[in-house]
Amino acid sequence: MEVIIPSVVILFFLGVIYVRLANQRKLLKEIESYEIMLRNARVIRLQYIQALEGSRDALKELQHIEESLKSIKAELYSFREELREMLLTLRKEIEKSTETLLDKRTISQMRTNFEQKWKVADGRKHFYRQVLATCRQTRPILHQKAKEEDQANERWAVEKEKVMVFYRNLSPKAKITDPLKYLT
């Protein structure tokens, strides 16, 4: 009986120590999985930030293209107005012409000026069409980048929520890294 009681007490203490060690191992595994989740959340956050920057860059590019498109369009309207005025002046000059050498030179010079202005306006129209095509190509890219940003935002929100829930559950048990300090 004297040997049985100390051996039972020793077995009891060994059982308690085994349970505590098992709980500590379980806690260490939870902490390790938390740290892994935290690293993954940070990677996802960086992906979200990259997607956000890409989306903003595409938006800035599209806005820049649209601004240049508007300025070119205004320039084209200005050219059209100048061409109309030049054409009306040329017609009036032709109507009142007396077929003198001076009139012929004046009309010839006016035609040359009109043709040059027409070529410049035509070149600007071509450039306007190129910018318009670029704008039309950029819009789908912007929409794609916006979708990628939304998906990255959703992944980031889900992962952040998982980490925060895990942190709330694990923080009373052990001293662990605060995710708000690590993820910002």
Containing 152, the helix (H) or strand (E) segment is helix 101-170
For residue 62, what are its two tokens? 């599209």
Counting as low any pLDDT under 50, the low residues of the chain are none
How confident is the model at residue 81, as a pLDDT?
95
| Per-residue pLDDT at 180 | 64
Amino acid of residue 130? Q
| Structural contact between residues 150 and 9, judged by C-beta atoms closer than 8 angstroms | no
Query: Secondary structure of 108-147 in the HEC alphabet?
Result: HHHHHHHHHHHHHHHHHHHHHHHHHHHHHHHHHHHHHHHH
- pLDDT, residue 114, reads 92
CA distance 167 to 174: 10
Q: What is the pLDDT of residue 3?
A: 65
Q: How far apart are CA 93 and CA 165, in angstroms?
A: 85
> How open is the CA angle 52-57-59, to the nearest 5 degrees?
95
Domain that includes residue 104, residue range = 4-183
Tokens representing residue 67 in the block:
């601004």
Taking Cα atoms as reference points, which of 138, 142, 82 lies closest to residue 113? 82
- At 1 the pLDDT is 57
What is the tally of structural domains in the chain?
1
Residue 107: count other Cβ atoms within 10 Å of its Cβ. Answer: 15
Q: Which of 158, 154, 157, 163 is nearest to 182 (CA)?
A: 163
**pTM of the predicted model over 0.75:** no
**CATH number of the domain within which 130 lies:** 1.10.287
User: Which amino acid type is present at position 29?
Assistant: K
